[in-house]
Structure 1
Amino acid sequence: MSDFEPAVTAFLLLKTNRAWLELSVPERVAAFQENVLPAVKDKAQDVRWRYYDTEFYTARVTDIWVWEARSHEAFQLAIEALRETPFWDHYFEIVEILVGVENGYAKHYDSDILAANNA
């Protein structure tokens, strides 16, 4: 996936619900592997995601999932699949979904990207 060029990036801001917190860590892993991964697996060819824990910095949002998709449709299909699992509103409250296009302004105006690239 090194040539993965996302058309859209989405930030899912999540808050854990009591149903998730009442599970032991092994039960959480099993719930994720049994309920979430199979639902999005066949939709995941054109999406990738990463997880960030934030509960130790804020009480409103406990986790952020960053999704990148090759198309808006690929992102939509993954989210539709995710909505059919207990993840959605049972284990986690979806606080907000923020969707953007990286360097969209530069692409639109055919200008240079104005960002630090120190890596």
Structure 2
Amino acid sequence: MSAASQYDLATNPMTVFWLIKTTPEWLQLPPHGDGGRFAFGKGVLNPILAKYPGARMAFFDCEAFTADCTDVMIWTVTDLEHYNGVVNDLRETKFWSSFFTIEKIIPAIENEYAKHYKADLLGAA
């Protein structure tokens, strides 16, 4: 992999980990029904995610295993403009600070250390 492609997000995506916590306001919503948690996801979050295909998100529950956060959102970013768009749009909704607090954002590039030194990738088969 050339140095240019090493930092080309289209061929070498950035991964961004969000450690988030639910708020009491979120937990007071019923899971189902109009005005519920799943309705918020479908009506508010899904349209934002659909607008920005260069920032794909996976959602993991972890409240049973740590007190640091209740969930982890893992973003695969192939377009920084799309990622920035997601963040800006989410900040305009109740997701940001009302329903969840963003505890930590950790951007990362997979195996960047090995790529920088042109060494065998760690964990590669």
- 2:4 maps to which residue? none
Distance 2:11 2:38 in 1: 30
* Percent pairwise identity: 35
Aligned positions of 1:50-65 closer than 5 A: 50-65=58-73
Q: 1:38 aligns with which of 47, 51, 57?
A: 47
- 1:24 maps to which residue? 30
Matched, 1:71 2:67: no
Query: Alignment partner of 1:78: what SS?
Result: helix
User: Which amino acid in the other structure matches residue 82 of structure 1?
Assistant: L
- 2:6 maps to which residue? none
- Specify every segment of 5 or more residues in structure 1 that has no aligned partner in the other structure, as ranges: none
Distance 1:86 1:105 in 2: 37
> Per-residue CA shift, 1:11-65, capped at 9, x if unaligned?
100100011100111110001112222223211x212111111111122300001
Query: Alignment partner of 1:25: what SS?
Result: coil
Count, aligned residues: 113
Q: Which structure has the bigger radius of gyration?
A: 2
- 1:49 maps to which residue? 57
Distance 1:103 1:72 in 2: 19
1:73–1:106 Cα change, 3 Å: farther
